[in-house]
Chains A and B, each alone.
Chain A
Amino acid sequence: MMGQVLNLSARDIEDIAAFYAAQKGLFTADYSD
């Protein structure tokens, strides 16, 4: 993991995070679940 991310630029990180955030997946577990 360390090796994969050490050379990522700030823009790379923003793009990657935006991609994952746009996928359907995790959700906030709350008391109503």
Chain B
Amino acid sequence: MRSLLKVLTAIVVIVATSVTASAAAAGNPERGAVLADTCLGCHGIPGYRNAYPSYRVPKLGGQHQDYLVLALLGYKSAVRSHPTMQAQSASLSDADMRDLATYFASQGVARQGLGKTNGKIARGKEKTAVCAACHGEAGVSPTPNWPTLAGQHEDYPQQSIAQYQNGGRTR
């Protein structure tokens, strides 16, 4: 009986710790919405393009919170190369990043499902087999550290992959 009590106590402590950790990791979406005013100058305009190289800036609505924080940390630490994003993230605290990420993630849940299709898309589906473990079979990532790609502008992953290939991005 004493052993059972010890096990139950341990379970309660573990669950309580996990809940606390999750709550600490969750940001404040209301504060994030205020901070996001600057971001929405680019990310809130449908089809807005980065000047050079020219590509549409990524959609952030429905993106994973954890991934967005990692991306901002990447810009702040310069392992991601984008002068504007590096400048914007330089002054953000960890709490600011969590709040911003929570705001964008809270905009909605990515809906799963195939839209249009053609030969190029069908070829793409075959080629994403190796991507699916992290990014999900249809591009909705099951892992919060990895980005959802479903619905993203076509030229944004093209730009991202090019950066991985040329060393402009390492994570």
Contacts and interface: CB of A to CB of B under 8 A. Distances in A.
B21 interface: no
9 contacts: A14-B120, A20-B152, A20-B154, A20-B157, A23-B150, A23-B151, A24-B111, A25-B151, A29-B44
A5 B139 contact: no
A21 B153 contact: yes
Contacts of B36: 29
A2 to B, nearest CB: 6
Contact of A15 (B127, B155, B162, B171): B127
A17 B164 CA distance: 15
B: interface residue count bin: 35 or more
B112 A23 contact: yes
Interface of A: 1-2, 4-6, 8, 12-31, 33
Contacts, number: 145
A23 B139 contact: yes
A23 B139 CA distance: 7
A15 B117 CA distance: 11
Contact of A16 (B43, B59, B124): B124
A31 B40 CA distance: 8
Nearest to A33: B107
Given A19-B128, A23-B112, 20 more contacts: A2-B170, A13-B157, A13-B158, A13-B162, A15-B121, A16-B124, A19-B121, A19-B124, A20-B135, A21-B151, A21-B154, A23-B140, A24-B115, A25-B111, A25-B150, A26-B60, A27-B151, A28-B59, A29-B44, A33-B107
B89 interface: no
Given A13-B158, A25-B148, A30 B40 contact: yes
* Top 3 A-B residue pairs of the complex, sorted by shortest distance between their CB atoms: A25-B150, A19-B124, A25-B151
